[in-house]
Amino acid sequence: EITKGINGLEKVILRETHGSSVEVYLYGAHVTSWKNEHNEEMLFVSSKAIFKPPKPIRGGIPICFPQFSNLGLLEAHGFARNRLWTIEADPPPFPSNVNDRVFVDLLLKPTEEDMKIWPHSFEYRLRITLGPGGDLMLISRIRNTNADAKPFTFTFAYHTYFSVSDISEVRVEGLETLDYLDNTKNRERYTEQGDAITFESEIDKIYLSTPTKIAVLDHEKKRTFVIRKEGLPDAVVWNPWDKKAKTMADFGDEEYKQMLCVEAAAIEKPVTLKPGEEWKVRLELSAVPSSYFSGQ
Ligand code: BG6
């Protein structure tokens, strides 16, 4: 189903027979809502989010490509999140079986203007798909379509904003004892201590060589988000906390209490694609009652 969203921007709504749903804006191929079968929202979107190009939408799942953060010369987090994507009716076949899933396929190709700021031809195909259990999967395929022999290199993140009831009651499992780069300290490298990660101040860390499964436990809601990822070795954990929140025009002063970003990413080792080569990665999110999760 395609409908008009905020400010007339087009969005696609996927509904799964058991009642879960997903909303995706073509602007940024940006998932702005993921609801379970009880109509509960799993993603955070700021009440101050600006749905107006070229401003990226604050919340949901922005796609950071071809640059994570300000690691290169492009605008922060690259330009995929503030371009208009198109729906692809008949994409090249995906190997994965999607028989029992609803999905939409989106496509981004650079315009001539884009090629002036990043001189590479590519096709970025994103399949967004909802499974019968309400799990949300994002499969990205990025192909180098340069006509000359030029390879290109990029960094990437699925910048997922989870909705949580109270950040001080949340912990993240799967990142303990790992090395990370601290974005608040010139990306110096540190090693995380042995305990699950909890939150009491600003955090902006790039965890390196992370496991394929990470869990975000929301104690108050008794809900656990399970993040499964393929081909994405790094994981960014971000919460701006109070001081930084006040500097962000599209983010409420107190909203940091209700969100946590855990972003499946490829940052430390940038990806290089030769012409004709394709990079394929996937993110799978599920939300389960905490009692279902081992160790709870
Ligand atoms: C995170 C970065 O991924 O995104 C942070 O690690 C950054 O440093 C945050 O502040 C938000 O970025 P933006 O461009 O959406 O305000």
Query: What's the CATH number where 200 sits?
Result: 2.70.98.10
Residue 12 belongs to what domain range? Answer: 2-292
Beta carbons within 8 Å of 34's beta carbon, 6+ residues apart: 20, 21, 22, 23, 41, 42, 43, 136, 285
Are 59 and 162 spatial neighbours (Cβ–Cβ below 8 Å)?
no
What does the pLDDT read at residue 296?
42
* CA-angle at 217, arms to 214 and 218, nearest 5°: 150
Does the annotation mark 263 as catalytic?
Answer: yes
| Average pLDDT along the chain, 296 residues, taken 10 residues at a time | 96 96 98 97 98 98 98 96 96 74 96 96 97 96 94 98 97 97 97 94 98 96 96 98 98 98 98 97 95 52
Are 79 and 117 spatial neighbours (Cβ–Cβ below 8 Å)?
yes
70 lines ligand 1 (CB under 6 A): no
Residue 93: both structure tokens together = 């076949």
What does the pLDDT read at residue 290?
82
Beta carbons within 8 Å of 60's beta carbon, 6+ residues apart: 30, 31, 32, 33, 43, 44, 45, 161
| Tally of domains in the chain | 1
Which neighbouring-strand residues pair with 286? Answer: 226
What does the pLDDT read at residue 274?
98
The DSSP-derived string for 177-216 is T-EEEEGGGTTEEEE--SSPB--SS-EEEEE-S--SEEEE
What does the pLDDT read at residue 58?
98
What does the pLDDT read at residue 211?
98
Ligand 1 center–CA 221 separation, angstroms: 26
Nearest CA to ligand 1 atom 6: 204
Does the annotation mark 220 as catalytic?
Answer: no
205 lines ligand 1 (CB under 6 A): no
255 lines ligand 1 (CB under 6 A): no
